[in-house]
Every structure is written in structure tokens, then in C-alpha cells.
Amino acid sequence: MNKDELKQKALDYISREQDEQFRGEVEALLAEEDYEELNDRFYTEIEFGTGGLRGVIGGGYNRMNPFIVQQATEGLARYVERAGTQRPGEPLRAVIAHDSRRYSDTFALQAALVLAAHGIQTYLFSGLRPTPELSFAVRRLGATTGIVITASHNPKEYNGYKVYWDDGGQVVAPHDKAIIEEARNVHGDIRRISRDEAIQQGLLVMIDRELDDAYVEAVKGVSIRPELLRNNAGELKIVYTPLHGAGGYLIERVLGELGLEVIPVDEQREPDSEFPTVMYPNPEEPAALDLAVKLGRQLDAQLVFGTDPDADRIGIAVPANGEYHLITGNQLGVLLVDYVFGAKAELRTLPERPAFIMTIVTTNLQRRVAEHYGAEVYATLTGFKHIAALMRRFEAEPNGPTFVMADEESYGYLVGDFVRDKDAISAALLCVEMTAYHVSRGKSVLDRLNEIYREFGYFEESTLSRYFEGQRGKMIMDGLMQQLREDPPTEFAGVKVLEIRDISDGTRRELRTGVAHNDVDLPASNVLQFILEDESVISARPSGTEPKIKFYISCPGRPGEEPQNARSEVGTLVAAIKSEIEAIIDAGAGS
């Protein structure tokens, strides 16, 4: 984009942005003639990805700011007016929540005032709330749509905007594309009313405790062995950190009402948009749990866990040989699948057709365990919106499967159907209950994981992410995916590739015969999967919410083999595959 085009884009934004601070940022860049920064802010516009809108906070069309939020909400409001359903004599409804990030409360209010201007009665949480409670509230209040302002686990410079539909799940086709198309057609004609007007007209309704109470009762209902918690409450030491986010109050309340004492990490207990004690407020990152693990070691806790800023992801650590072992997202999923389906099978509370949903990049060990307990297993694309869509399909099918549990490798879990997104609040309760159960049987969580490995085979997973910022970064990632399609590897670390699945067009190609099959029944997505002859799976996927390309590696061992022996062999293979992928990325990036 040349300088004149950049100037025009910047001036256009300045004329539309009402917030002085964000408008002033762009005015200053124009005055300084900082065209490199202006190009980054205007070469493209933020679009809906797997999680809605997400980006760095700042002025510009490629940033998160009040105008972008208003524009997206204007498009959403127009679509709701056209496609939303309402009860006779009642208005269309929306619900909005936000987390602890910079400007989250401002963005939430601006979205509410746009919706209210369209006559959509909007329920706005009076303070920060976790994402799963927003999903719950959409269903509870009979709303057509919902919005949560959050950038989940991203660095503090980011914020985001996730849109939900009437089932409580994030929007999927056709709603997602229709909403962004409406937003693209917004040209300076954004409708707004003031906060006072909205309240006086009954179009802005503040909510808090009444939804909290209902949500807490629903979460407590996921407990499978509540008597176990009551009987062992005094023996459990549980350390928890909300990582300066929205999870603290509700998790402490849920567990407290079940008689459990939660020991908080005081330095990270209070919400703080600067996340001063962590570089990344992400429970996937070992460093994010350092303070919690330190406290757990001091107290000899049986469980240490943390949640991300909007409390939809959870990470745990458990004691082992005097230290604390961080459980991966895949491993925790395996443990929860084993506990939930195993406990329900034992207590004979599994439905006739129990369903477990995973993603195509989640470890197949979960499939093996779930099927062992009689579950029907469904795999879908990364992103809980696809899981929610399957849940809706189950409900629409006569005598269809009954949803029990879902998860994805990136530390997201859901048990029960009252929420349609990953839910770290209910997952925390089940992690505590699972820990109590294994301790009551004289073993640790890791002991149980090793038993699972012996029975079903040791699996090891690893991810490799590479960030490519800006316009050039997008070109590099597009080029890498094109290269992998046009000239794919035929082996990784000496293990032959049997077939390649291209989720973008639903094809599956056998490398030995060259025969292609159009039988991949998944929504189109820019994902490639390489299936190796030893059942290893390698997946490549550019992120829909961050400027990065991500590779997922999953390699299995043999059932019956001792985990410590399999770990060395499989770990060597994973490391070799990872090294080869790094070389592919470096070559594609011109390193």
C-alpha cells in the first residue's frame, strides 16, 4: 500500500473513531509520517476467525478499538434483526460479558449501546465474568446472540470479541460469514444511544448475582461423586491461580460451597489487565504456573491449577517424587475422559448412546479410552464452536447420541450441556474430584495416567508454533501451506506418510496409489494432516486468531509396553519429526 493510500485509510479511520485516545494515536503517526506502523495498522482489516475478532489494541482498522467493536456490533445487530428469533410480544435479546483486559469494559459497553440502539434488549454483566458463564447466560435468558470481550490467553497487548448464537455456542456458518459481511457494509452509519437512554428504555439491563447463582448450581451438578468430595474435603490441599483473570471468584465459590478449601496465589488473585506476574497469562505455558507450583510445594498440595483470563482454559500440576509435574492438555483430557466415562459406567449413569467429542488434532489416546467405556467418538475441527455445532446436531436427531464430554488439546474441556464452550470452572471441579478419587484409592494422578498408558499405549504429543507478524508474515504462512500441498513430504524421520488429508477441500489422498477420495466430512478449513504408517499424525494449521502457523505432532507407542521404555522411543521420534518441520518452516520463510 503506497503512502497516499495509507493517508486516506488513516484519515478515514480518524473521521469515524469517536474515542479521542485511539483517534489520537493515528493522528500522531500521520504527523510523524511513520508509514511502516501505519501500514501494519491499515494494510488489512481484522476479520472473524476461529474465535471472532482478536488483535493488538490500538487505533486503525487492523487493531482492536472502539470503532472496530462498534462496526462489528452494527453488523451483528443488523443480522440479528434479520435472522434472529424472538418470542411473541418480546424483544430480541443479547448478553455481553468481559474479562479483565485493557478496555474490556469500554468495548463491552460500546457494543451494548449499539445493540440497544437497534431495539435489542441487552443484558450486560456489571463486572468481569468468565466466558463459559456468558455461554450459559445466552441459553438461560433466551437470547439470540451474545458477545464476550476477551483475548483469552494472549499477551496483554491484545483484546478480542467473540460472538455467540442462540444455542450458546460461538457463531458458525452461515452466521459467521453473514455477520462479517454485514459489518463490511457498515459505512459511517453506526447507530448508538447513550447509556442513560438505553437504561431508561429498558434496552440495557445490568446483571450479576442472579446469573452467578444459576451458573454455580449448574456447575456443581457436574460432580459425579459429590459424597467423595464431602468425605475427603479436609484431606485435600488445592492451590489455585486465576492469573489475574475472571475465574477466581466463581471457582473459589463453587469449590467452597462443596466444602473444599481453595488456597489462592495471592499475588495473582486480583484481576489486573497488565498481568504483572507473568509474561503470558496462559496455563499452557509452564512459567505461568510458577508461583502456584511454588506455593503447592510449600504446602504439599495434591493439586495445583490455573485458569486463563476468561477462565475457559485450565492447566494443572500434580506432585511426583517431591516435585510437581505439569500435565499437558492432551494428558489432562485423557485423565478426564477416563474419570468421567469410567465413573459414569461404574455408577450406571451413562446414557444409552454416550458421545465424546474431540478435535482432529487431539490425541487418539482419548478415542481409545472413550471407546473402551462404550462412548461414540466424534472428531471435528479445532475450535469449540465446531463442538457446539455437533452438540446441536445431536439434539436435533431423533434418538441421537447424548453428549457427555468434549475437549481439545489446547487445555479446553466441557462436561455437561448447559454451556456450549470450553469451561474451566466445571473442569476445575472435576479435576479436584478426580484427584480426590485417585488419592482415596492410594494412587496419584500420574499413577493412573501410567496405568492408562500400559493398557492403551503410550502417546506423546508436541506442538510447534512459529509467529509471522504483519503482511509479509501472512504471505509466508500462505506460501508454506501451498508448498505442503504442492510438494508434500513423503516421510517424516524415516516413517512413511500413508495419506494426506486436506480439510480445505475434503480430500484424502493415498500416497502409495495416488488415489484421492472426497470423504473427509468436516467443514472446510485451511488444515493439512499427514497420517504416517505407524499411526503418527502431523497436522499443519495457520491460526485464525493469531499471526502464527501451528504444527501438531502425535506419535503412539504399543499397548502393554512400560511407559518409561516407550517414552524414550516415542520421544526420540517426536523430536526428530519436530526438527524436520522446523527445517521446512525455515526454508519456507527464507531463513
Q: Give residue 233's pLDDT.
A: 80
- CA 381 to chain centroid, in Å, comes to 12
**Predicted local distance difference test score (pLDDT) of residue 545:** 63
Q: Distance (Å, rounded) from C-alpha 537 to C-alpha 529? A: 7
Which residue spans within 92-235 are E strands per DSSP? 93-98, 121-125, 145-149, 158-165, 204-207
Q: Does 2.60.40.60 match the CATH number of domain 215-323?
A: no
Tell me what pLDDT residue 234 has. 82
**pLDDT tens string for the chain (591 positions)?**
899 999 999 999 999 999 999 999 999 999 999 999 999 999 988 876 556 789 999 999 999 999 999 999 999 999 999 998 777 778 999 999 999 999 999 999 999 999 999 999 999 999 999 999 999 999 999 999 999 999 988 899 999 999 999 999 999 888 888 888 888 888 878 999 999 999 999 999 999 999 999 999 999 999 999 999 988 888 899 999 999 999 999 999 999 999 999 999 999 999 999 999 999 999 999 999 999 999 999 999 999 999 999 999 999 999 998 899 999 999 999 999 999 999 999 999 999 999 999 999 999 999 999 999 999 999 999 889 999 999 999 999 999 999 999 999 999 999 999 999 999 999 999 999 999 999 999 999 999 999 999 999 999 999 999 999 888 888 999 999 999 999 999 999 999 999 999 999 999 999 999 999 999 999 899 999 999 999 999 999 998 667 899 999 999 999 999 999 999 999 999 999 999 999 999 998 886
What is d(CA 49, CA 150) in angstroms, rounded to the nearest whole number?
Answer: 14
CB 131 within 8 A of CB 153: no
Coil, strand or helix: which one is 357? strand
CA angle 548–545–144, rounded 5-degree value:
165
Residues with Cβ within 8 Å of residue 55, at least 6 apart in sequence: 46, 62, 63, 64, 158, 159, 160
Side-chain-side CA neighbours of residue 328 (13 Å): 14
Q: Give the burial class of 287: count Cβ atoms within 10 A of its Cβ; 0-12 exposed, 13-18 middle, 19 or more buried.
A: exposed
Which among 136, 310, 145 is positioned nearest to 213, based on CA atoms?
136
Alpha-carbon Rg for the chain, nearest whole angstrom, is 24
Cell of 362: 487431539
Please give the single-letter amino acid code of residue 42: F
Number of residues that make up the chain: 591
Q: Is the pTM of this model over 0.85?
A: yes
Note the helical H segments in 17-65. Answer: 20-32, 35-42
**pLDDT value, residue 90:** 85
Q: How far is Cα 312 from Cα 130, in angstroms, rounded to an integer?
A: 7
Q: Is 241 exposed, middle or buried (0-12, 13-18, 19+ CB in 10 A)?
A: buried
Fold of 459-589: TATA-Binding Protein (3.30.310)
What separation in angstroms does the CA of 236 have from each of 243, 320, 390, 468, 541? 22, 16, 36, 44, 40
May I ask the CATH architecture of the domain 330-446? 3-Layer(aba) Sandwich (3.40)
How far is it, in rounded angstroms, from Cα 286 to Cα 266?
Answer: 19
Closest CA to 114 of 62, 161, 72, 58: 72
Residue 487 exposed, middle or buried by CB count within 10 Å (0-12, 13-18, 19+): exposed
Among the listed residues 135, 152, 426, 554, the single catalytic one is: 152
Residue 23 to residue 7: CA distance in whole angstroms? 14
**149: Cβ contacts below 8 Å, ≥ 6 apart:** 69, 96, 97, 98, 99, 101, 104, 107, 108, 111, 159, 160, 161
First-residue to last-residue Cα distance in the chain: 25
Report residue 223 CA to chain centroid gap. 23
Burial (CB count <10 Å: 0-12, 13-18, 19+), residue 560: exposed
3-state secondary structure of 183: helix
C-beta separation of 86 from 174 below 8 A: no
525 catalytic, yes or no?
no
Beta bridge partners of 380: 359
C-alpha separations of 109 from 78, 141, 250, 261, 274 in Å? 18, 19, 23, 35, 21
Residue 228 contacts by C-beta under 8 Å, 6 or more apart in sequence? 433, 436, 437, 440
The answer to whether 117 and 80 are in contact (CB under 8 A) is no
Question: What CATH number is given for 44-207 in this structure?
Answer: 3.40.120.10
Q: What is the pLDDT of residue 153?
A: 87
Q: What's the CA gap between 229 and 227, in Å, rounded?
A: 5
What residues does each domain of the chain span?
1-40, 44-207, 215-323, 330-446, 459-589
CB 298 within 8 A of CB 267: no
Which three cell numbers mark 381?
475441527
Q: Determine the Cα–Cα distance for residues 141 and 288; give it in Å rounded to an integer.
A: 35
Burial of 56 (0-12, 13-18, 19+ CB in 10 A): buried
* Maximum pairwise Cα distance, the chain: 71
Q: Which sign, positive or negative, has the C-alpha torsion 505, 511, 512, 513?
A: positive
Q: How far is CA 208 from CA 90, 125, 137, in A?
A: 22, 6, 10
Q: 305 and 272 in contact (C-beta within 8 Å)?
A: no
Q: Please, what is the angle between helix 66-83 and helix 175-184, to 10°?
A: 120
**What CA–CA distances, in Å, run from 370 to 221, 228, 397, 406, 430?**
22, 23, 22, 11, 17
Q: Which of 364, 574, 573 is nearest to 464 (CA)?
A: 574
| pLDDT for residue 180 | 82
